[in-house]
Structure 1
Amino acid sequence: MAIWNDPQPSQTSFGASSRMNAGYASGAALDAGLRKYMLSIYNYMASGVLLSGIVALGFVESGLAEQVFRTPLRWLIVLAPLAFVFGMSAGLNRMKTSTLQACFWGFAVAMGLSLSSLLLVYTGPSIAMTFFATAGSFAGLSLVGYTTKKSLSGMGSFLTMGLFGLIIAMLINAFFPMPGMGFAISLLGVAIFAGLTAYDTQQLKNTYMHVAGTSMQERVAIMGALNLYLDFINLFQFLLSFLGDRRN
């Protein structure tokens, strides 16, 4: 028998509906915040790459790059980006957001000066072709990291160990060159940074839950852009060793 005069069923239905609507609104707000957060990371990263490219091209066109890379100053240019990376990583919790932003742009300029050496070694068309190939690969790999439901944390540990092995192999090859070693290093480098692109993207997505709405959100976005920038540039350089045409 229906209890038409009993208000309880309608109240329960309304309460459940309200909770569902509130949950939907909360989820929609979270998704919107996540998209905004990831977009800010990609904007920082893309702007940094663009700035580095402009600086590299200007440095070469001015004629200074060819002169400087013949002097010991080349080591300052090569090592300067590392100083920015270590400084930003160590000062993440202490620096103001504006200071971290300035360091990121300084890093992009330093990387541009360092990358100018590639313009002296490889032809412009082959660099452009490799850049677009890298951009397409990076976009696909980052999309995989963003959309996959599978945790890539285990792969991250493996890739980190592989990265250390890659650095050691590069140092050994620099002092004791061996036939075929350079090819193997480039192949390994492409594989490692392809994996790191997907892994770092997923980590940045997961990190949003912990920093959303806090004072750390913008700073984490900047550091995330730095990580993706490094993935992109390293992937580009290793691909260039395969696709690039050297100048005569």
Structure 2
Amino acid sequence: MTELLFREDAYLTESDAAVIAHTPEGGIVLDQTVFYATGGGQPGDSGILSWGKQSLEIATTVKSPEGDIVLIPATPTALPPVGTLVVQRLDWGRRYGHMRIHTALHLLSVVIPLPVTGGSIGPEKGRLDFDMPEAPEDKEALTAELNALIAQDLEVSETWITEAELEASPGLVKTMSVQPPKGAGHIRLVRIGEGDGQVDLQPCGGTHVARTGEIGRVRLGKIEKKGRQNRRVYLHLDD
């Protein structure tokens, strides 16, 4: 299995690696990677793979049915042979946008404490779908509350619990549409704030900023009705 370097350091933008496999569809599997694979509403990373005097553009990153992290070239091309040593470089601007938006969406689920039925992350905006029969009365008040949380510059950290501990604390899971991956025996939790200042704790496999202050100011966009019980709330980076 590929070593997930982004799990240890979400700010690592470049790393050496070795090609360990090709997929039938033309993807590349490395022994270790800084590229996050599509999952949990967060898109797969893009960037560049280079070896010798050659390079290729990576359009996105996905997980194979077997769980491998697969880098997908932007165009069909000759792949570096298995065993080749390569350098992988993230499109950092895009990834960092995902990190800022992803963390902001966790905070959005704090200021709107309702079950989440879906979500999507982009480099400049994102959205959460809520089990919300009626639209919020005061969008500006929610925006102010969200920006106040961000401005506290809270630490974002992780902890791990067992699957049994998660089953004993079902309230940790806010998302109705995406359940935490199970089968490995342990679950990653992302915490925002520490001690008495903790504001959020929920299962998540994505990448996040280290402190909420890195998000910058945000604004809430349109709120759409999506079915009888659902409202879609858009969030935009404001700088």
Q: Which has the higher helix share?
A: 1
TM over 0.5: no
TM-score, length-normalised on structure 1?
0.25
TM-score, length-normalised on structure 2?
0.26
User: Which structure has more RCO (C-alpha within 8 Å, separation ≥ 6)?
Assistant: 1
